[in-house]
Amino acid sequence: MINVDAPKPRVLSLRTTRDHRRGWVISALFAATNLKQPTSVYASNGSLNSFGERIPMSPSIIEHLTQPEIDVSTYVRRKRIALAHEISGRTKLYLDTKYWALLRDVRLGRSNCSDTKKLLRVVETRVADGSLICPLNADIYFEVMKQDDEQTLMATARLIDDLSLGVCMLPIMQRIELEVFHFVESSRKSQNAVHDLNELVWTKTAYVLGFVTPDCYEMPDDINMAMQKSFADHMWTLGLEDMLNVMGPDKAAAKKSPFEDISGNLNAGKFAHIDEHSSFKGVFLSEVQGILDVHNETFCDLFQYIYKRDTGNALTEAEQQDMSSGQMLANMIYHAFRLNKVTHQFPSLRIGAGLHAALRWDKNRKYKPNDLFDFRHAIAALPYCDLFFTERALHHLIQDGNLKFDEYFNCKTAHKPADALTLMLMETDGK
């Protein structure tokens, strides 16, 4: 079976000083491998470090040394697929940041809402009995990190750990790349030769911002690879509270979302071009085109990766600079949407373009600063989860007559705690 996945892991050199994750990665690395941190070199088993000490190897590293043919990307991919199978029987409930805050306040005794109290009890019970899980997502992470009160932040992290069981979704950009990669591979191979998307979008909390692995490049290759896999084993066990304890709540709170507030620019563009399209589909296709334009370089990288993987041949410099393959794929996807040939493919693209189109089509509505965060919650929840509890405005937009995304993706959505409780009971009791 073909492992459809993002082509390249992110490698973090331990000599790197500018990456904000360096301290977090190094701390986790030494916890994972039972190594003492030397000043300059990292010695292999049976060697001496710069302190003149013999460095012991953890059982995990010793085990991984027996499988040098499995690189870290393959190893982590297999762990992710196994994780998907572990949670396949659980109802997936996506809570946006509003609901994480509501349930946290119940735990802290700050809320007297009876419906929210009942909802928390049922959610906790369903998670404990194996019928439910509430996965984390990078957009939840960034919004949670806005909290500057340490008690509130840590309580939120603890709740997320308890209800997510350490399960997290790939970041949005990786999901979009994965969905396109999956489409290309599925078009070339038989259906049973390619993993289902639902087997590939899940990871663990420590990789909430993407997969990163340290590179101890001064070590022999086999030791380096074994340490990378041992590091992944350790990262697999960590929760959000663990991450905050390593980073420190104050530093964690300083991690801001890479997505800027562009609502003002979007409103200016909306009203400047408000009469350009005579149909909702025209607006939708313009949004599809805009998203595809952003990812053109990614599409080129995808084709180059597949070519090198399948042929073993290197690309010439001219071939590496050629962007035509990416544009051809973008054009094909655009016309597939135009001709209504897209069914279950490209869910993130469909939802993102659809929500923006619905908001643009409503001449009386303006973009608000938090709309883009809300849209990214919907892009994560609707295709991969069974239930989505969110804000009132987003709930209504999802059910817009031009979209009906809750029906299209078979993801039941609610914004009121009472309705959320009813939906969850119906969904989990039916399994």
pLDDT average, residue stretch 386-391: 98
pLDDT average, residue stretch 413-426: 95
Q: Given this model, what pLDDT does residue 43 score? A: 39
Question: 303: which 2 tokens?
Answer: 């084709």
Q: Given this model, what pLDDT does residue 9 score? A: 53
Please tell me the pTM assigned to this model. 0.86
Distance CA 210, CA 229 (A): 16
Region of residue 180 (left: phi > 0; alpha: psi -120 to 50; beta: else): alpha
For residues 137 and 192, is the Cβ–Cβ distance under 8 A? no
Asked whether residue 45 carries a pLDDT value surpassing 50, the answer given is: no
Distances (CA, A) of 11 to 73, 202, 378, 386, 419: 10, 20, 30, 34, 45
On the 0-12 / 13-18 / 19+ scale of CB atoms within 10 A, 430 is exposed
- Top mean pLDDT of 8-17, 46-55, 253-262, 355-364 is at 355-364
Q: Given this model, what pLDDT does residue 412 score? A: 97
194/264: higher pLDDT: 194
Q: Given this model, what pLDDT does residue 363 score? A: 87
* pLDDT tens column, 112-142: 999 999 999 999 999 999 999 999 999 999 9
* pLDDT tens column, 55-89: 556 788 889 999 999 999 999 999 999 999 999 99
Q: Is the dihedral of CA 89, 95, 101, 106 positive or negative?
A: negative
Q: How confident is the model at residue 431 (pLDDT cuts 50, 70, 90)?
A: low
For residues 347 and 409, is the Cβ–Cβ distance under 8 A? yes
Q: Given this model, what pLDDT does residue 50 score? A: 46
Q: Given this model, what pLDDT does residue 17 score? A: 37
Q: Given this model, what pLDDT does residue 411 score? A: 97
- Residue-averaged pLDDT of the chain: 85
Q: For 179, which DSSP code?
A: H
Q: How confident is the model at residue 46 (pLDDT cuts 50, 70, 90)?
A: very low
Asked whether residue 277 carries a pLDDT value surpassing 80, the answer given is: yes
Q: Given this model, what pLDDT does residue 56 score? A: 59
Asked whether residue 335 carries a pLDDT value surpassing 50, the answer given is: yes
425/46: higher pLDDT: 425
